[in-house]
Amino acid sequence: MKPLDQLSLGWRTELIFARFDAEVIAGPDCVVVRTAHNPTFWWGNFLLFDHAPAPGEAARWLASFEAEIACRQPESRHIAFGVDTEEPFELPDELLRAGFSRHAGTVLTMRRDGLRPPPVALAGGFRMATLDLPAQAGAAVEQQVAADAGEHQPVSAYRVFRERQMQRYAAMQRAGLGHWFGVFALTAQGEQLVAGCGLFRDGPGAQALGRFQFVSTHPAWRRRGLCRALIHAVCRHGFDAMKLGTLVIVADPDDVAIGLYESLGFRRGATTWQIERRPDAASC
């Protein structure tokens, strides 16, 4: 397994969060990531390999996950493997038969001189702000659950997951590692948080990396340019206030959001690969 500082940019910035409050153990065959305070977080409890699974390796990979994560954390009923390789690959038949799926993430990066302004400024009736965590964490969780639109079931379990994540981000914000940002709509009932994201750093210095987290907009407030305005403002904050050298965001390659990110100056780079089995697929 390659050293942690030689991982690709997507995985290196993914581990910013695990290094803060979880276990990251570099072994000879893989990196073990365990987040005891959030055991149902798939990508807080996974094994990272530097090669794609070859035919006949499934049993060894599964045994490693059982020993390193499932046996220690019974609540971790998922199985998740990261693969740090640039080349596309197909899952071996034994993993497909066991109910696993493969997913790709496109890594996009930007440096200061690449940032472009959004074509339209944020409309009246909205304001952007850094959230006061943990005081405003509840509003962020409700916005995130609404943005998920029931994709993760049950919703109650997803809400608990998001609450635990916001607790982590609040602790990182207190430690001076970043912030959570939001767009508030001014409504007749008062202000409502309708879009949000986080930006956190990997360390000090002008070459520090910044990684975006969970960019999302409430379904009732989409297609108004809120996300574009938010990302632009957060990028500016990252370069000016946080003095970051490079900003990183990872997105679904089939998601229309990639076009939005590219319009602001992000450029596509490597692909990250994830192999996962949902808890409800365990009997497949």
Q: What pLDDT digit, counting tens, does each position of 197-229 carry? A: 999 998 776 679 999 999 999 999 999 999 999
Tally of CB atoms within 10 A around 279: 13
Per-residue confidence band for 86, with pLDDT thresholds at 50, 70 and 90: confident
How far apart, in Å, are the Cα atoms of 172 and each of 36, 79, 198? 17, 27, 11
Average pLDDT over residues 141-161: 90
Tell me the torsion sign for CA atoms 31, 102, 162, 160. negative
Contact indicator for 229, 128 with CB cutoff of 8 Å: yes
**Which structure tokens are listed for 6?**
């030689």
pLDDT at residue 206, rounded to an integer: 64
pTM, 2 dp? 0.92
Is residue 185 classed as helix, strand or coil in its secondary structure?
A: strand
**Which structure tokens are listed for 277?**
């089995």
pLDDT at residue 281, rounded to an integer: 53
Q: Is the pLDDT reported for residue 254 higher than 50? A: yes
Domain residue ranges in the chain? 4-105+273-281, 116-264
Range 116-264 has CATH code 3.40.630.30: yes
| Average pLDDT score, the chain | 93
Q: What is the pLDDT of residues 169-183, one digit of tens each?
A: 999 999 999 999 999
pLDDT at residue 284, rounded to an integer: 30
CA angle (210, 88, 108) in 5-degree steps: 20
